[in-house]
Structure 1
């Protein structure tokens, strides 16, 4: 069987139960293997792991993009536009605070995309975005 390239990403969290609620229940990732120190998640076919690391991290850095302060580091997922809006609605209904509210970035320009930023319960910055035209993902 040939597998498409997949990424593996591990992030620190300070509460595995909060990670289960956020990544499993709210975002809808299927849980894989786990221990009392980590949980594997299926993030749209990619292996995403939350590792228990209770120490606090440094203050979040930011870079300006399209008039917003984008948190770095961050990671995220490219979704379809309907998936993007459905997830944004789920975040709103759950009372999740956005770092950058969902909006249409670079409107009418190469790379036009819907984007939103938020923090998980451990303070990891997440970006979710959606392109009307996937050929524009790497447009210059």
Structure 2
């Protein structure tokens, strides 16, 4: 697991938040300390959900596609996996914060993206690139 990214976030009540990550997003859970934290395999990266009382305050910033929530995190995924994720979200109790949108149409950076928030208000941006090889050149 070299070069694996690690991020820890306040997750509110883990019993409420864990199903969002495992059932809706389809991520596997890993190591944990009961009632304190649990690791999630977030598309090959380690996301640690911490039991918490606090929620992060969010703001919105203007970008080409509109006004997006900051801070946020997410994952790039293959088109087929991205479309399957959208179907799971659309058949769940969760709504998009910002619905799927195609950005940079007709360029080498063309992508489809959407924003959703977990039960504790952490904002995720999920995306698929038409040409993933251009991401970091």
Q: TM-score, normalised by structure 1?
A: 0.90
Runs of 4+ in 1 over 3 A off after TM superposition: none
Aligned partners of 1:9 and 1:49 also within 8 Å: yes
Q: Are 2:50 and 1:72 aligned? A: no
Aligned partners of 2:8 and 2:49 also within 8 Å: yes
Structural RMSD (CA): 1.4
Q: Deviations over 1:45-97 (max 9, x none)?
A: 21110001112432x11111223211100000000111111101110110321
What SS is found at the alignment partner of 1:98? Answer: coil
Give the drift of 1:99.
Answer: 1.5
Give the drift of 1:111.
Answer: 1.1
Q: Deviations over 1:83-135 (max 9, x none)?
A: 11110111011032112101211111231101000100000000000011112
Structure 2 partner of 1:87: 85
Aligned pairs (5 A) from 1:56-71: 56-58=55-57, 60-71=58-69
What SS is found at the alignment partner of 1:17? Answer: helix
What SS is found at the alignment partner of 2:101? Answer: strand
Structure 1 partner of 2:129: 131
- Alpha-carbon separation, structure 2, partners of 1:56 and 1:48: 17
What SS is found at the alignment partner of 1:18? Answer: helix
- Alpha-carbon separation, structure 2, partners of 1:12 and 1:55: 7
Structure 1 partner of 2:21: 23
Aligned pairs (5 A) from 1:35-46: 35=33, 36-46=35-45
Aligned partners of 2:59 and 2:70 also within 8 Å: yes
